[in-house]
Structure 1
Amino acid sequence: MNTNEVVGRIRKLQMLKGLSNNEFAELLGISPAALSHIYNGRNAPSMTILEAIFRKFPNVNFNHLIKGEGNLLEPLNEMKDNNTLFSNQLTDNYNTVNRMDESGKHPNSDSKEAVSIPANKNLESSQRELTNENISNLFTIVKVALFTSDGKVIFYTPTQDFNL
């Protein structure tokens, strides 16, 4: 990843959106001075700033911003299709994990080194067992990144009806 090229693509996004440095910095939740430092090469864009870009501009193509592949902006309807596909894959993976038997072995695993899940049922009263219901009360999934073997990164932003 060439930092100068990434910074150039961030500038291009700002220009396409017609935002001043102050407006763009405010949208990203950083100071105008921090944005200036990035643009002048003093600092590299942090992961926090990249996440803010994807949160504020959901149609930004991550692969273009980071690697220069594809278009900077994607149509929202294409992203919706990708999100649906990713949601289905995520659901399938979640269901597979839930099918693990009590010994902790994956049902399709022939390996003798299967992952084991502790079966300690004697939890102190101050501890509680994590279930689907109380996990979803601990946090909200904002965005999921899928890193593929061919070097691509796909972001999925779940809808309001997405549940663990």
Structure 2
Amino acid sequence: MVNSADFTKRLKEIFEYYDLSASSFADQIDVGRASISHILSGRNKPSLDFVMKVVSSFKEVELYWLLNGKGQFPSSKDNRNGNSTKEELVDDIKPVEPKTAESLLNPNQASQPKKEIQKVIICYTDGSFESFQN
């Protein structure tokens, strides 16, 4: 069972972390401002829909932390303060496929066979040119 007073404290931590007021927080997660007011005052308990909107709107908020106060906030992987370790940053890097000039010029033709540039000719206004071959 979720302790409403503790849940409210954790919501206020989220407000502070993102520098949001209760009304801007409500707008951010797309709920009525009265809903936030009722939860903060202890009149209502948060619904599952409310909790899921918070978790899906803010990456640093972990579900288990929000409900039970156990875990970390902000979550260690998405730390906004720049305290991520070098290993965590390296783990997030994904290799990028090199792009050919053809794929940049015709991005919708990815299903065609791979084409490679064979020759580039640069023509100058004085009538001269340069030719580059692969």
CA distance in 2, matches of 1:59, 1:18: 14
Unaligned segments of structure 2, at least 5 residues = 79-83, 92-134
Residue by residue over 1:54-100, the C-alpha shift from the partner in whole angstroms, topping out at 9 and shown as x without a partner, is 1110221222111111212112386xx8xxxxxxxxxxxxxxxxxxx
How high is the TM-score relative to the length of structure 1? 0.44
Please list, as runs of the form range in 1=range in 2, the aligned pairs for 1:10-159 lying within 5 A after superposition.
10-74=11-75, 75-76=77-78
Identity of aligned residues (%): 28
Q: Which residue of 2 aligns with 1:89?
A: none
Q: Which amino acid aligns with 1:18?
A: D
The structural deviation recorded for 1:42 is 0.6
- Residue identity opposite 1:66 in structure 2: L
Amino acid in structure 1 at the alignment position of 2:62: N
- State the distance in 2 between where 1:40 and 1:73 align: 24
Q: Give the Å deviation of 1:27.
A: 0.9
Give the TM-score normalised by structure 2: 0.54
Corresponding residue SS for 1:25:
helix
- Letter in structure 2 aligned against 1:36: S
Residue deviations 1:95-132 (CA, integer Å, cap 9, x gap): xxxxxxxxxxxxxxxxxxxxxxxxxxxxxxxxxxxxxx
Secondary structure at the aligned position of 2:49 is classed as helix
Counterpart of 2:112?
A: none
Aligned residue pair count: 79
Structure 1 position 14, deviation (Å)? 1.2
Counterpart amino acid of 2:66?
Answer: L
Q: Which structure has the larger Rg over C-alpha atoms?
A: 2
Contact 1:7 1:45 (C-alpha < 8 Å) held by counterparts: no
RMSD: 1.8
The residue type equivalent to 1:28 in the other structure is I
Query: One-letter code of the match for 2:27?
Result: E
Distance (Å, rounded) in 2 between the aligned partners of 1:67 and 1:22 = 24
